[in-house]
Chain A
């Protein structure tokens, strides 16, 4: 999946500041509500990236452990974690592999109880991620 990653997003905000915001600071005639809205989008992106920078490693490590555990449980085996601490790129690649394997298993069809187990694990990961990166997002089960 080609969603822009952290460095790409930082470059996007830099480009906005340099190419769009700076000219409007020099010549106020170039400023308009759309530019102000994009400045708000950029600021929100930077806040999210700042929050994520401190949490990414722990989030990904927890996701990897949790999803590997679910996959192992679907197969009726113990998780075969080797205990070694992977590098950031290894951990990220391993997480992508586990996510893909889990998607394939779900797509192929699971018993209702297994689907519920996978759902709970996936929701737990989303909850942790949103709590760290989207502090304004209401995670209470009964928001309405």
Chain B
């Protein structure tokens, strides 16, 4: 098969999808929309992500994001994601608008959303290193802190509709996550002493906290950055009621620093810069020790995430899935290192 040729079955499926998308957009908007193309986007590790080029709407392209065939544990579906995105935007968070939900559009049984297209860089290792983004990096953490502070104004009391979508908030969000990760370790049949030790250490630290709407996956890699600064926050599939420290800690997890180890806040700023910017924006003191505990949990979560990717290798023998499973010991080491630091004294 030469470059540019497409198997006929694939071409027919592509045309059928294009026609379905066009019909849906016409029905949803009441406008004579023409869809020029529906093409896969890279980077959709979990959800199906497609680019939709259109004529007849206010913008020439959109992202079409569909439920995954096999969602990851803890992720929400697109219907609930729509409710989260609308609440976040109402609170002033910069994230692309989601529109025109559609059942069975990309796959039977899957709901899809159309997201506004945003231009910028989202690849983490480029965000932390690209010379073109050097100016943006100097203020990126301040901007992210503002977005988080806006997001964390959303509470179960302020947004009862989200309680219906996401469920009731756990009284101790850290303990809830420890239980969830033990369940994930069991499901993976992962006898990992480091994971058990870290979860036992966390389990011995009751941490009741007022619930806020947490992004759940806010890291370098889910931020769109342009030379002018932060453009948008992406990917709400792990949104949940949690402690505000969970989002601050996840942004600091070592693997999202892309080699800039001393710049704990996403590989672009020292962690204290993040804490101070968040305190200034939110008017709330950051509990440093709580962030440390959530960062231990974040490393366990990502260690198990790596192992879960490896478990998928049996079904889809992909080089990256195989490689990522081998990285679990890095996260396990980091979790135990952070526990040592916490045991030695104040964070």
Instruction: Report A's interface with B, CB cutoff 8 A.
Output: 1-4, 8-9, 11-13, 15-16, 27, 29-30, 34, 38, 41-42, 44-45, 48, 67, 96, 99-100, 102-103, 106-107, 109-110, 112, 115-116, 118-119, 122-123, 126-127, 129-130, 133-134, 137-139, 141, 143-144
Which one of A27, A42, A107 contacts B319 once the chains associate, using CB atoms below 8 Å?
A42
Interface pick from B98-106, B208-216, B237-245, B320-328:
B320-328
Q: Do A103 and B201 form a contact, CB below 8 Å, given A3-B326, A126-B336?
A: no
B307 contact set on A, CB distance < 8 A: 1, 3
Q: Contact at A3–B310, with CB atoms within 8 Å?
A: yes
Q: Do A118 and B313 form a contact, CB below 8 Å, given A4-B322, A4-B325, A8-B322?
A: no
Q: List 14 A-B contacts (CB under 8 A).
A: A1-B307, A2-B313, A12-B322, A34-B42, A99-B192, A103-B192, A107-B196, A119-B340, A122-B193, A123-B333, A126-B333, A139-B333, A141-B337, A143-B262
Query: Considering the chains assembled together, what is the distance between the CA atoms of A68 and B115 in angstroms?
Result: 54
Q: Do A45 and B322 form a contact, CB below 8 Å, given A29-B3, A30-B3, A122-B193?
A: yes
B310 contact set on A, CB distance < 8 A: 2-4
Q: Contact at B201–A119, with CB atoms within 8 Å?
A: yes
Q: Contact at B261–A143, with CB atoms within 8 Å?
A: yes
Which one of B192, B319, B339 contacts A45 once the chains associate, using CB atoms below 8 Å?
B319
Does B271 belong to the interface (CB within 8 Å)? yes
The prevalent SS among residues of A at the interface is: helix
Q: How far is the CB of A98 from chain B (nearest CB, A)?
A: 9
Does B285 belong to the interface (CB within 8 Å)? no
Which one of B4, B261, B325, B329 contacts A130 once the chains associate, using CB atoms below 8 Å?
B329
B200 contact set on A, CB distance < 8 A: 106-107, 109-110, 115
- Taking CB as reference atom, which chain A residue is nearest B330? A137
Does B159 belong to the interface (CB within 8 Å)? no
Query: Considering the chains assembled together, what is the distance between the CA atoms of A109 and B311 in angstroms?
Result: 28
Q: Do A3 and B3 form a contact, CB below 8 Å, given A103-B191, A119-B336?
A: no
Which one of B190, B194, B311, B323 contacts A122 once the chains associate, using CB atoms below 8 Å?
B194
Q: Contact at B194–A2, with CB atoms within 8 Å?
A: no
